[in-house]
Chains A and B, each alone.
Chain A
Amino acid sequence: MVELVPALLRQELARLAEEDNRIDGRGRWDARDVSLETDCLYNAEGSAKVVIGGTVVYAGVKFELRTPWPDRPTQGSLMCGAELRPVAGRKYEPGPPSPQSIELGRVVDRGIRESGCIDMESLCIVPGEKVWGVMIDIHVLSDQGNIFDACGLAAIAALRTAVVPAERFDVGEDHKLLVNGTPIMASFTRVGGRFVLDANEEEELGGDERIHITLGDEGHLHSLQKGLKGVFTPAEFAEIFDVAQKRCVELRKLVAEKEGN
């Protein structure tokens, strides 16, 4: 369903931007409170719930035994998918996976995969015969803005707390999944002409293009995505890239705290 954008909303967002203000009173680079809960679902081998403002997202990790690809006999596999089902908001409709949900899943997938935090070789049980397939499924339950960051955070937190169910599959003892690193996503939306961090629902409704940056532990880029209609300048990117670095460090700390428990 195409959402109706009130002309007054765009007008107001532009006016607020000129005054360096936001519709909910936040500063340009301020994010809403984030809450993270891990190991919250029975049956998932790893799970996480993320709440950012009114956005609620769950991620669950499942494992399966499979035969490795012939050209990579010692490597397991990783897959990450997102579902934007009608539960998430009035604008979401039933039907086959929408382009938006496919984009969401793939952007999160790339960030995790390309960071190299999962060593595919470590998922090998018997070379050429048996490897683990790791599947992360992300489920958006309530969209009130910036589902990308919520999904990215839920996915990596679920992965980092996952236990490989080896006993159930009769291939050894259960053990923690080996994850070397915590890739984190930070998303920016152009609202009233300039980029802001962690846009809320109204800002997304009356805003323009968005940019998603996933950074690894060393601050290296692992995934970038520009979505929606609009263009930006290299100078604008440099500015948000600096903010993304700080934001990712904060969220990484939050994941580490949960693991410490």
Chain B
Amino acid sequence: MMGGYGDVQLLNDDGSRLDGRKVDEMRPVSIEAGVLPAADGSAMVTHGLNVAVAAVYGPMEAHPRKIQRQDRAVIDVRYNMAPFSTSDRIRPGFNRRSREISKVTAEALESVVLVERYPRSKIRVEIEILAAEAGTRCVGITAAAVALADAGIPMRDMIVGVASGKIEDTVVLDLDKAEDNYGQADLPVGILPNTGEIAFLQMDGDLSPDEFDLAMEYNFKAAKEIHGIMVDALKRKYDGGEA
């Protein structure tokens, strides 16, 4: 994915990005809580042109029995891209990429949900990507966190999905599609906004230690901003007005 194509220009002469953003500027984010009436909790996150929907069901008895844990709940995540979410249609069904993202997302959510409150149970988290424009796993994590809160699932903190990366040897926040395709590195993380801990971490490409530090700084800054939007979405839904 990270080809580092030398001939594709991703930064303008004035140092701004092709879509006009500054290097430390994220795409616009909007969030709505409680969008799916059938679910116990749900959320829709629009991040740039990405659209992700998450639904939460449970806690319910974990089955099959072999996945049951006597001391805690398991979180059963399915990350799925709708067939029409990408430029080339995706054949429906699970693939290796979705399976990996589902696994690490579940483990990240298990790190914030108070799973020990619900022995032998499972909490189902369904993440559906309706439109993809780079960074869907992060948008999915953000949607899942709002949906879990909406469902009344106890958590010690929220979790926010954000990513930074590198294009033309420059560290930038929140890669868009072209930057993701032709950039040099991508660093998606799941940040706990109140404790400042990290529950999700992936990276591919090439980053120097200094570049990594700067990318993480950008990520923390963005997480704080998105967390504010998450809280606003929940307040809008239930407080009958603005936060």
| A contact residues vs B (CB 8 Å cutoff) | 41-44, 47, 53-56, 58-62, 64, 81, 83, 85-90, 94, 96-97, 135, 137, 139, 141-144, 168, 201
B49: Cβ under 8 A from any A Cβ: yes
Q: List the 8 closest A-B pairs by CB distance, nearest first.
A: A60-B84, A54-B37, A87-B126, A42-B49, A62-B89, A137-B83, A44-B84, A142-B36
A96 to B124, CA, bound (A): 18
Query: A64-B89, A85-B126, A87-B53 known; A137 and B35 CB under 8 Å?
Result: no
Interface of B is mostly: loop
Residues in A neighbouring B53, C-beta threshold 8 A: 87, 141
Please pick, from A90, A135, A142, the residue contacting B83 in the complex, using a CB distance under 8 A: A135
Please pick, from B39, B51, B84, the residue contacting A137 in the complex, using a CB distance under 8 A: B84
B128 & A41 in contact (Cβ 8 Å cutoff): no
A85 & B80 in contact (Cβ 8 Å cutoff): yes
A97 to B51, CA, bound (A): 24
A59 to B85, CA, bound (A): 11
Chain B minimum-CB-distance residue to A58: B130
| B contact residues vs A (CB 8 Å cutoff) | 35-39, 42, 49, 51, 53, 55, 57, 60, 78, 80, 82-89, 92-93, 124, 126, 128, 130-133
Please pick, from A43, A56, A89, A143, the residue contacting B131 in the complex, using a CB distance under 8 A: A43
Interface of A is mostly: mixed
Residues in B neighbouring A96, C-beta threshold 8 A: 93
List 22 A-B residue pairs with CB atoms under 8 Å apart, sorted by A's residue number. A41-B84, A41-B131, A43-B133, A44-B85, A44-B131, A54-B38, A58-B130, A60-B82, A62-B84, A62-B88, A81-B83, A83-B82, A86-B57, A86-B78, A87-B53, A87-B78, A90-B60, A139-B83, A141-B53, A141-B55, A141-B128, A201-B38
